[in-house]
């Protein structure tokens, strides 16, 4: 598997080109960096939201960040796993990511908790195929 290929079998990848997998199978996210004003954004875009420049380059983002805020979601479209934790994660590149949190109980969450990106199943589609995307989970001690 190369870093441009994500094979989920019959699963649907919600993140599109924003989610990549490197040679060892680890997930990472890609944003955009404006060459004119240095604004960094996620997901990737063709136009800078600050200066409207079209001179942007792909920006591989850090796999680790810190938990900024979260909410427990109890109502969602058909097929989503409920309840789930919706959150904002801050990355070192000064990018804030809207994401799901997985592999953690809500009562264990704390502000500025270190987290890392991964691929997670978020639900199932109408054909009973997994719907997968990026999510974050607490950073394991061996990875910090």
Q: What is the pTM of this model?
A: 0.86
What's the rounded Cα separation, in Å, for the pair 10 and 141?
Answer: 33
Is residue 131 within 8 A of residue 114, CB to CB? The reply is no
**Are the beta carbons of 122 and 14 closer than 8 angstroms?**
yes
Q: What is the pLDDT along the chain (144 residues), one digit of tens a residue?
A: 334 434 454 445 667 788 888 888 889 999 999 999 999 999 999 999 999 999 999 999 999 999 999 999 999 989 999 999 999 999 999 999 999 999 999 999 999 999 999 999 999 888 888 888 999 999 987 655
């Amino acid at each position: 598997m190369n870093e441009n290929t994500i094979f989920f079998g019959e699963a649907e990848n919600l993140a599109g080109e924003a989610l990549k997998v490197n040679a060892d199978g680890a997930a990472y996210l890609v944003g955009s960096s404006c060459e004119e004003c240095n604004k960094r954004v996620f997901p990737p875009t063709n136009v800078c939201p600050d200066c409207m420049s079209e001179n942007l380059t792909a920006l591989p983002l850090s796999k680790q960040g810190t938990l900024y805020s979260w909410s427990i979601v109890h109502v969602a479209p058909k097929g989503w796993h409920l309840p789930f934790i919706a959150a904002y994660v801050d990355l070192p590149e000064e990018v804030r990511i809207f994401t799901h949190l997985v592999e953690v109980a809500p009562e264990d969450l704390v502000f500025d908790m270190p987290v890392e990106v991964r691929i997670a199943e978020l639900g199932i589609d109408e054909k009973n195929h997994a719907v997968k995307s990026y999510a974050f989970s607490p950073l394991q001690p061996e990875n910090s």
